[in-house]
Amino acid sequence: IHEVANGLLADPDPALGGLRLPPLAVLPVGTGNDFFRMVRSPFGILEAVRALGEGVPRSFEVGEVRWEGGQRHFVNLVGVGIDVEVLRRRSTFARLPGLLQYLAALGVSLARYRSIPLRVKLSCENQESRVLEAPVLLSAVTVGPSVGGGFVLSPRAVPDDGPVSYTHLRA
């Protein structure tokens, strides 16, 4: 989903006016399916396939992260810190079901991970930018409420309640 969304947002189709994007259909076949739950799609492959023909496209928000030398969009989460380490380790527990993969990887990561220095510049409309610097275990900006197969980081996050502020991260 991340790569497809970035491809669509990086090069909008001029035939669509450059602003309208084609619908993005998602089937719940991943290990976490947080995005699928976030956009409140019918849960299950058959219902999702049925929605391809009968569903009505809806808009949802995306975030954008910029750093020296690049930028990317994110559809649910941008994280720095232990969450990245958990994702790196998750594949070593591939025999476990989705959520248990993340829990096992989290346990190992908590035992071995050390905080990293992070500098974040927060830019919000109609407000002066702020810079925060600290060693962090985890820094995350979310569009939706959960990550990693159901870990709720932002319980009140709604993917279609208004524009997301742009956040600039520098590790």
Q: pLDDT digit string (tens) for 37-50? A: 777 766 677 877 77
pLDDT of residue 110: 93
The Cα 133–Cα 31 span in angstroms is: 33
The Cα 74–Cα 80 span in angstroms is: 13
Which pTM does this prediction carry?
0.69
**How far from the centroid of its chain's Cα atoms is residue 116's Cα?**
21
Residues 116-160: pLDDT tens digits? 888 888 776 778 888 989 999 888 888 888 887 777 888 888 888
Cα→Cα distances 164→53, 94, 129, 157, Å? 30, 33, 15, 11
